[in-house]
Structure 1
C-alpha cells in the first residue's frame, strides 16, 4: 500500500517513474495550428488570451501523458503546447482530441504519450536538419523513449508560413528531406507520418501549391498519409483553426492512424 501511494504521489508531482512510461508515443510538430490556438481571443486591450474552455474531446485522461519541457512524462492537459510554444498564447490543438479518439475507438490501446514540439510561425526551412527546431524534435523524441515505449507516428501540421513566398516551389523537396532525415536520425526507417493539408482562409498566394504537395504525398511512400483540413472554421484572424475544427482535425488524424498503421493492434 505504501508503494502504491508513493507512485501516485510521484505522478501527481510530475516525477518521472518507470510505470508512467507510455506504450505508444506520438510526435507533434509543425507550426501554430499544431500547437493550438483554439479558444484564443483578443481582449479590450488587444491582448491575446485563451478562454479556458475544454470540450469533452479535449479532456485529460489518465492514459494520456505529455512530455513536458523538462522531458518528464506528466498528465496531458490543454493547452498541450503551453511550455513548448511559450512565446505565444496556446489554446486547443489537435493532440488531445487525437489521443482521446484513439482510446474511444480502441479501449485496449493502452497508454499514449504525446510529445509536443510545434512552434508557431515556423517555415519548413526552420525544420532542416541541424536547426534548433529539428534538434529539439530529435532530442525530445529520444527522451520520450527513455524507459521504453515505441514511437508510433509523427503528426505534422505546417505550411501556412510557406504560402507567401515563391520559394514554396521548393516545399516538396524540403518536406521529403525532413521526413527522410528524421527517420534516419531516429533510426526508424518506416516511421509513419500523418500530415494535415492546410486550408487557412487568410494565407499567401501559393497556398494551393502547398496544399497540392501535401495532398499528393506520399510520392510512393506508403508510410505517409494526409488528412485534409478543408472545411475548417477559424478564429477572427482567419488563420487559426477554432476549437471545433481542431477537434475535427485531431479525430481525422486518429482515423488515419487507426486505418493505415496497425492502430487496431496495440503493441
Structure 2
C-alpha cells in the first residue's frame, strides 16, 4: 500500500491546531481562571445561595432552553466570584448555578443581580464570593432531614469557600414551591422549616449571620396551600424576609422572569444592606 505523506501531514497539522485552540481557550476562558492567590483574606464576603429552582434561576428558560440573554445588571465583574462545581473560585457569570443544579436547564437567578447591586451601592465592599447550592424541585424535607444530601452539600461548599479566606456574610434562601403541591406537604412545612434552620445554626451559621428568605411568589397546588406556606414564611421572626409576591412570572406560572429575578436581586441587596451586619 502506498503511503500518503501529504494527507498525513495535513492530519497532524489539523490535530495540532485543534490542541492549540483548546489550550488557548482554557487559559483565556474566565471559567477556568481561579483566584485564591490574589485575594485579600480580610475583604472577602461570602454569600450562600440555596433553595430550589427560583433561586437556581429559570429566568429566560422556555421549554428547557435558555435564551442566553443576560441583562446588564447580571454582567460579570472581576469582583464577583463563584465557587464552581469543582470548589474552585472563578469569575461569576450567568447561569450562576450551571454545574450545580445538575440535569436542569439553568437561566437567570437573583444572585448576580444581588452582588452587582451591592457593589454599585458600596463600591469599596470588596470581593464577593457567591456559593450556589440550590436544587430545583426540592422539598423542605429534602433539606431538613438528618441525612440530607442537600444540606450536607451546602455546608461542605460553604466550608470550601471559607478555605479561601473571608467570612460568610449571609445566607439567601428561596424555597417552598414544592411544599405547596399537597396538603400533607403543606402541613409538614412549618415544623420541617424550623428543623432546617436550627440545623444550620448548629452546623454552619453564627447567630449574627443574617438568614434572608424569599417569601413565595408562586405555588404548584391549591392556592390555599400556597398561602399557608407563605404565612409560615412571613411569620418567621428570626430572619429577614423579602416578599416576591407580585413579581412577574413566566408562562408556566411558577418561575420568575429574567427581569423579575433582577428585581428580586435588588430587593435582596436592599435587605442585606439594611441589616445590622451589612458593614
Q: TM-score, normalised by structure 2?
A: 0.84
Distance, in Å, in 2 between the alignment partners of 1:125 and 1:148 is: 32
Q: Answer yes or no: is the 8 Å Cα contact 2:181–2:220 preserved in 1.
A: no
- Give the ranges of 4+ consecutive aligned residues of structure 1 lying more than 3 Å apart after TM superposition: 8-13, 201-205
Pick aligned residue for 1:144 from 145, 148, 161: 161
More helix by share: 2
Report deviation, 1:15: 3.4
Residue of structure 2 aligned with 1:17, choices 36, 58, 67: 36
Q: Does 1:73 align with 2:89?
A: yes
Q: 1:241 to 1:172 in 2, by over 3 A?
A: same
2:190 counterpart residue number: 172
- Tell me the secondary structure at the aligned position of residue 178 of structure 2: helix
Q: CA RMSD in A?
A: 1.9
**How many equivalent residue pairs?**
248
1:13 shift after superposition: 3.4
Q: 1:16 to 1:100 in 2, by over 3 A?
A: closer
TM-score, normalised via structure 1 length? 0.88
For 1:64 and 1:157, locate their aligned partners in 2 and report how far apart those are by CA, in whole Å. Answer: 21
Cα contact 1:183–1:190 (8 A) shared by 2: no
1:101 to partner: Cα distance: 0.6
Change (3 A) 1:236 1:11: closer
- In the alignment, structure 1 segments of 5+ residues that lack a partner are 1-7, 43-47
> Could you tell me which of 247, 250, 257 is aligned with 1:235?
250
1:27 and 2:48 are equivalent in the alignment: yes
Q: Choose the corresponding residue for 2:136, options 120, 131, 137.
A: 120
In the alignment, structure 1 residue 244 sits paired with structure 2 residue 259: yes
Structure 2 stretches of 5 or more lacking a match?
A: 1-26
- CA shift for structure 1 position 52: 0.5
Q: Distance in 2 between matches of 1:12 and 1:208?
A: 41
